[in-house]
Amino acid sequence: MVLYGVAALAVCMLAGTLVGEYLGQALGVDANIGGVGFAMVLLVFVTHWLRQKGKFPEASRQGVLFWSAMYIPIVVAMAATQNVRKAVTGGPMALLAGLVALVAGFALVPVVARIGGPGQPFPESDDGPAQEEPAEALTPEKKGS
């Protein structure tokens, strides 16, 4: 069954690579544009659809999780290396665009951290029930039970 998860990942990767190649050709660029991204989005949709149909058992899910744990960090590291090399050789505009994205990312950290607010319980996930609030977050009214 693990093999089915790996097969789903491989089919999505091939489909995403083809879409990226054709998009590059359509835009006149001699490169794969977003192939890995298309593959990952397709994998999310396919696995969600298969789970809804009851045709994606836990063992298949483990096959996808294994390769995603191995594959995605490697691809991100390769892409980051290429982006830095292109930015350095691309001139000041590429460096400025990267710097603006970095500053914007750092500026958005507090905004994203406030989503949900303090004291709200975590939503339930596939891993189990919602987590409890930490003891420090309990007010005196809540402690008096």
Over the chain, what is the mean pLDDT?
75
> What is the model's pLDDT at position 127?
53
Q: In sequence order, what are the residues at sequence separation of 6 or more whose Cβ sits closer than 8 angstroms to the Cβ of residue 125? A: none
Q: Is 0.85 topped by the overall pTM?
A: no
The b-or-e profile of 51-62 (16+ CB within 10 A means b, else e) is: eeeeebeeebbe
Residue carrying the six token digits 């919602």: 130
Model pLDDT for residues 68-99, shown as the tens digit of each residue: 677 667 766 766 666 666 667 777 877 787 78
Model pLDDT for residues 35-60, shown as the tens digit of each residue: 888 888 888 888 888 888 888 788 77
Please count the residues of the chain: 145
CB 63 within 8 A of CB 5: yes
